[in-house]
Chains A and B, each alone.
Chain A
Amino acid sequence: DAKTTQPNSMESNEEEPVHLPCNHSTISGTDYIHWYRQLPSQGPEYVIHGLTSNVNNRMASLAIAEDRKSSTLILHRATLRDAAVYYCILNAGGTSYGKLTFGQGTILTVHP
């Protein structure tokens, strides 16, 4: 799977927007960009995914660069509950379509 690069940690204040970046310069044309997060003492939780176009759902927005070599997860108004480790993952599909490769992720701290 193509590799992703994320900052180790980021901080935000409650009710402010958060932009979590991810670089994936070796992304291939069939790679979907997925974001998961893991809250303390829980299993990973799906957040959002996209291929080429920007995506919105009730949890977040995903902005994908035109060349697809980077993406940004946007939390529009951070809450204390959003404090978690956020993982940017590429899924190429194919015979290993179910295999998610987790990196170190970004630890997001939200201050009240």
Chain B
Amino acid sequence: EAGVTQFPSHSVIEKGQTVTLRCDPISGHDNLYWYRRVMGKEIKFLLHFVKESKQDESGMPNNRFLAERTGGTYSTLKVQPAELEDSGVYFCASSQLTGTSGRDEQFFGPGTRLTVL
């Protein structure tokens, strides 16, 4: 079974440009999450989809970030316009269980390393 995949693995852009990151979750996983680690900081939650709906977007830093999950399959995270402080590693994760228990395990992708110059 394929794991969570992310594309691209690396992206280097200039300040002010737009970048779109893609995540393909494990097949059949209704939950999809985005996290990021900026330089020297801890991994931070960004948002959580259940199918195509946003369950929790409390971690999205500002309106330059737009996440979508059309059709409840893959997800994209667009940063527009990118700023220097957006540099870091963006992780996607997926999980299978629905409901509100805290027992679900999340499967992470390898991450996309974003560098904004």
- Residue pair A51, B110 in contact (C-beta under 8 Å): no
> Is B105 touching A34 in the complex (CB atoms < 8 A)?
yes
Cβ-defined contact, B111 with A97, below 8 A: no
**Across-interface contacts of B91 in A (CB, < 8 A):** 43-44
Contact with A along B75-117 (1 / 0, CB 8 A): 0000000000000000101010001111111111111000000
Instruction: Tell me whether A100 is interfacial, beta carbon within 8 Å.
Output: yes
CB distance from A3 to the nearest CB of B (A): 12
Q: How many residues of A contact B (CB 8 A)?
A: 28
Closest A residue to B109 by beta carbon equals A43
**Main SS at interface, chain B:** loop
**Bound-complex Cα distance A30 to B102 (A):** 8
Check A17 for interface membership: any CB of B closer than 8 A: no
Nearest CB to that of A30 among chain B residues? B102
Q: Are A98 and B95 in contact (CB under 8 A)?
A: yes
Q: Which of A76-112 contact B (CB under 8 A)?
A: 90-104
The reply to whether the CB of B44 lies closer than 8 angstroms to some CB of chain A is: yes
B28-70 contact mask (Cβ, 8 Å, vs A): 1 or 0 = 0001010100000011110010000001101100000000000
Chain B residue numbers with a CB within 8 Å of A102 are 35, 42-44
Note all chain B residues with C-beta closer than 8 A to A34: 105
Interface residues on chain B, number (Cβ under 8 Å)? 29
Kindly identify, within residues 30 to 61 of chain A, every residue whose CB is under 8 Å from any CB belonging to chain B.
Answer: 30-32, 34, 36, 41-46, 49, 51
User: Contact at B48–A99, with CB atoms within 8 Å?
Assistant: yes
Interfacial chain A residues near B110, Cβ < 8 Å = 41-43
Extra 8 A-B pairs, beta carbons < 8 Å, given A43-B93, A44-B91, A95-B100: A44-B108, A49-B105, A93-B101, A94-B100, A95-B56, A99-B56, A100-B106, A102-B44
Residues of A within 8 A of B (CB): 30-32, 34, 36, 41-46, 49, 51, 90-104
